[in-house]
Structures are given as structure tokens and as C-alpha cells.
Structure 1
Amino acid sequence: MRKKTICGIDEAGRGPVIGPMVVAGVWVDEEGEKLLRDMGVKDSKKHTAKKREELSEKIREMFFHNFIVVQPEDIDALRQAMSLNELEIHIFAKVGGSRRADVYYIDSADVDEERFGQDFLKKLGFETEVVSKHEADVKYPVVSAASIVAKVERDRKLEEIRREIEPELGIPLGSGYPSDERTRLFIKKWIEKFGDVPPHTRQSWKTVQKIKADMKQQKLF
């Protein structure tokens, strides 16, 4: 009898103004799901960076997985044609479609969980069961596993970006999130020095527009 295949999909880096978004999928059977529980897999945010890296290595060694890194310039281009939720569904479906599963567990970015699941299923292009929930990365170990793989890959990419651009200013880049004062200051200082935003910046983000507008306003006085 064929074992039931379960796929969990999640993202890391949806909101940052600097750096890519990573969407990851992990495929397991019911025995694999139990193994994830036994390994102590839970939402990536509840693990230390060191623990996430250890778990990510184990998950990638033990289970079929796939991830897509969506670069800032691609996010900007796609945002011209679709909302951020639609973009996420588009990438979720590309990851999920790389191997069929009997059930897909996905972390809903939409306030309407059911709508997010239905939109994902349409993009997927074949009939299957979809469970779309808020905080799926907390509720389902297979989504927790995907969140860990995505988060570790996103952190690695951000570290590469730091090594590339921080020496140009000699100040920390920060987390890349709009709420991080260090990140906003880095963007401002980069514009002051080079006349444009740093590489790997999502230029469609309101944060960038606000920083530019504030700097322009300051020049008037």
C-alpha cells in the first residue's frame, strides 16, 4: 500500500526591504512526520540560529525538499502585475508543483485562509487536498520544517549581502526589515553617498519611497 505523502510549504523574508524572499517545501510520509516531531521541529522563530542550522541540515539530508530564492528585483517586477499575496501563492505553487503530494499544508498569508488555499490549488494545477491555515508553521511539523529550511537559506543570503555592502559604509545593515532603524539608516546613508538605493533593495517597498521623500524634503530646508 502506497504511503500518504505530505508536503509543507512556508516562506522567509516576505516583508524585508533588503534581501530575497525564500519559499521552501518539505515532503514527508506519516512516518517522516513523526520523525520531525521526535526531532523537536517547531516554528523557525522558536529556535536559535544555531539550532535552526542543525535542524535544516538534518531535514535536507532526510527528506525531499525544494526551495526558490526570489530576488528583490524579481519581487519588484512581479509586484507590478500582482499583489504580495498573489506573488506568494505563485511561488508556493512553483515549489509545491515540483513533486506531487496527497496533502499540502501551507501557511496562509491571506486573512481568509480558505481563499488562500483555493488560490494555491488553482495555481498548482492538479487536484489534491490543501490545508491552508494561519500559523501553520506552529501547528504542523512539516510546515515548521519548511519554515526552518527557508529561514536558514534566507539568513545565508542576507549574510552574503552584508559581506558585500557593509564595508562600503562601515555601518551595520541590520536585519533588512523596514522596522529596523539600522536598516533604514543604512539605506539613507547609501543614497547620500552613491545617489541610489543599495543593491538587493526592494525598490517597490513604501519604506524606500518614504526615505527618498524625507531626504528630498530635508534638502528644501
Structure 2
Amino acid sequence: MSNTVLKVNEITIKKMKSHYSNQLIEKIPQGGVFVAKLPACTVTAYKSGKVLFQGGDAQSEADKWGTSMENAAPKKAVGGAKKPTHQFAPPVGIGSMSIIGSDEVGTGDYFGPMTVVAAFASEENLALLQELGVKDSKDLTDKQICEIAKSILHVIPYSLLILHNEKYNRLQSSGMTQGKIKALLHNQALGHVLKKIAPLAPDGILIDQFAEPDVYYRHLRGQGEIIRDNVYFSTKAEGVHLSVAAASIIARYSFIKEFDKLSEKCGIELKKGAGPQVDRVAAELIRKLGFEELGQYTKLHFANTGKARRIAGV
């Protein structure tokens, strides 16, 4: 899908809204002024003055109103890295580069799957992602995450991997650590995105660090394809490059959807996290469905399992 962004003034946005009055739709994203649905293009105007054109006729429709931001003076990107401190540290200025970022969600939640996403954010798309609200997912509510995720799913190439609870428990019980599971999924998702964007190559790959780089690659020993070229690791990588922030948002969105499916399946409102309220809900699930069904919904090796069994009296 083609995407073009314009920066216009308030008067122009009013003219555009009037021009597209017959194509306006009710659903408007956060920070939006209007959304118009044309046969081959969707036009979304924001209070900031930016207007997003999406679809086959995006460029031709945008040309009616001005010069795209891609052809305008470049804007300093949000994020970036400090001076590198080791060979895997992100380079200075990475925030404005074309990067594949990866992140995972659900590793600390007793209920629900693990979701891992790798996403490619090109230099040209950084301003668009920022305008669509992409930022550190920890600063967003679940509702905001779902709204933003829906708006970027068709904007950037990505790979989503969902490890459901039953398979997670099989891998873990076979002796595989959570760290190794995460490494395998990150590596697989990164490989998928590299294939999707080929022959284009990113300026680099940024992994939200969950293990030391040497440990990460030790987990991958024996794999047929190991992604190594221009790979960087950083904690809090969502603030270093928007690709990681986008990956985190998509991963969280998927986790929320899968979590809701599990709640509906068991007829109990499951709780996120791994605190005392989770123990009580797990005990309720055991009493309702039996302990043998718990593995369909949870990560059994968590301490919550023993606590829930004691509460349930089994």
C-alpha cells in the first residue's frame, strides 16, 4: 500500500474536509480531524497539520494539495543512541536510519501466549509512524495500542509470531528456557522481515535486549539461519528507534486479542500479569475446568501454578 504524508495549515485542512465532505466517515483516530474514504485512497487529517494519504492513488491525491514530507526538509528523528559502548551497541544516529526492530510481549504474564514481532521502519516512514502515534507502548493504554496497531499494520512490513500456551509449556517442559524460546522467535521473525523487504536491505537490526548478545547467539546454536549482520542490542529499545516501538505495539495488540479469546473460551475474565489476583483467577479456572486444562491458558512453570492449586485445594 502506498503512503504519502503532507504538512498543511489549518485553512487547508478545512478546505480538504469540505472537498471530501461526501466521503467522510465517522471513525476518526486519536488526534485526527477527519477521515475520508475514497475509492482508491483513504485521507486522514490530523490536528498537527499532517495529512496521511493511503492507497493506490495516494500520491496523485496528495499532489492535489501540496508537496509530500518525503520531498520536504528532513525532520530530526525521535530517539537515537548514545555513543556506542560495545560492538553490539546501536550506532549514533540510529534513530533516523532504516531499521528492522524486534520485541516481545507476554513473557511476564501467567495467562496468555508469547507474541514476538519484527517490523521494518524505513527512514521515509519515520515521520508517518510518529504521526500515527507510535511510541513506547508502556506510555499507551491497551485501547490506544489497539487503535495505533490497526493504523500501522498496512503501513510497514512486519512478522508476527504467536507462541500459544500449550506449545510454550511443551517447549519449557522439554528443558528449553524462556530466554532460548525468545531468541529463537526473534531470529525467526527477523528472517521473515528480511525476506519480505528483499532485495532492499535495512541499515541495521535492533533487538530489544533481553539477554547479553553472546548469550542470545548461544541460544541460536544449531539453527539453520542465524541473523547476524548489522544486529544491535539495546535495553529500552522502544525509545531508540520507532521500528522497535512499532513492533512492540503490534505484539501487544496481538497479545490483547489472544488474551480476550482465552477469556471467552473459559468463560472467566482472566487477569494480566502474575500477581495475587492472577492466582485467584487461576484457582477459579482450576475449580471450573480442572487442573489438567490449566496448560491451555497459562505458563505452567510460573510460581502462580502452585499458589493457584493451594487456593483451589487440589
| Higher mean C-alpha displacement, 10-19 vs 49-58 | 49-58
Residues 193 and 156 of structure 1: CA distance in aligned 2, closer, same or farther (over 3 Å): closer
Pick from 187, 192, 207 the counterpart of residue 98 of structure 1. Answer: 192
| Higher mean C-alpha displacement, 202-211 vs 146-155 | 202-211
Separation in 2 of the partners of 1:206 and 1:56? 32
Q: Which blocks of at least 5 consecutive residues in structure 1 are unaligned?
A: none
Residues 120 and 39 of structure 1: CA distance in aligned 2, closer, same or farther (over 3 Å): farther
Pick from 154, 170, 173 the counterpart of residue 270 of structure 2. Answer: 173
Q: Does 1:56 align with 2:149?
A: yes
Higher relative contact order (CA 8 A, sep 6+): 1
User: 2:128 aligns to what?
Assistant: 35
Residues 207 and 6 of structure 1: CA distance in aligned 2, closer, same or farther (over 3 Å): same
User: 2:20 aligns to what?
Assistant: none
Structure 1 segments (4+ residues) deviating >4 Å? 116-124
Q: TM-score, normalised by structure 1?
A: 0.82
Separation in 2 of the partners of 1:166 and 1:74? 22
Q: Which blocks of at least 5 consecutive residues in structure 2 are unaligned?
A: 1-96, 195-200
Deviation (angstroms), 1:87: 0.7
Root-mean-square deviation (Å)? 2.4
Preserved contact between residue 119 and residue 193 of structure 2 (Cα < 8 Å) = no
Q: What does the per-residue CA deviation read over 1:60-104, in whole Å, with 9 as the maximum and x for residues that have no partner?
A: 111111101101111112222321111100000111111325311
Q: TM-score, normalised by structure 2?
A: 0.59
Q: Where do residues 72-151 of structure 1 align in structure 2 (5 Å cutoff)?
A: 72-79=165-172, 80-100=174-194, 101-102=201-202, 103-110=204-211, 112=212, 114-115=213-214, 118-119=217-218, 124-151=225-252
- SS class of match (2:192): coil
Separation in 2 of the partners of 1:83 and 1:126? 20
- SS class of match (1:45): helix
Preserved contact between residue 159 and residue 193 of structure 2 (Cα < 8 Å) = no
Pick from 179, 182, 186 the counterpart of residue 277 of structure 2. Answer: 182
User: 2:31 aligns to what?
Assistant: none
Separation in 2 of the partners of 1:27 and 1:57? 16
Separation in 2 of the partners of 1:126 and 1:107? 15
| Higher mean C-alpha displacement, 100-109 vs 191-200 | 191-200
Preserved contact between residue 207 and residue 232 of structure 2 (Cα < 8 Å) = yes
Deviation (angstroms), 1:35: 2.6
Preserved contact between residue 6 and residue 29 of structure 1 (Cα < 8 Å) = yes
Separation in 2 of the partners of 1:64 and 1:133? 22
Paired amino acid for 2:120: W
Residues 51 and 190 of structure 1: CA distance in aligned 2, closer, same or farther (over 3 Å): closer
Preserved contact between residue 117 and residue 189 of structure 2 (Cα < 8 Å) = yes
Preserved contact between residue 7 and residue 142 of structure 1 (Cα < 8 Å) = yes
Q: Where do residues 7-18 of structure 1 align in structure 2 (5 Å cutoff)?
A: 7-18=100-111
- SS class of match (2:162): strand
State the structure with more CA Rg. Answer: 2
Preserved contact between residue 108 and residue 116 of structure 1 (Cα < 8 Å) = no
Deviation (angstroms), 1:131: 1.2
Q: What does the per-residue CA deviation read over 1:141-176, in whole Å, with 9 as the maximum and x for residues that have no partner?
A: 110000000001100111111112135xxxx3222x
Paired amino acid for 2:281: F
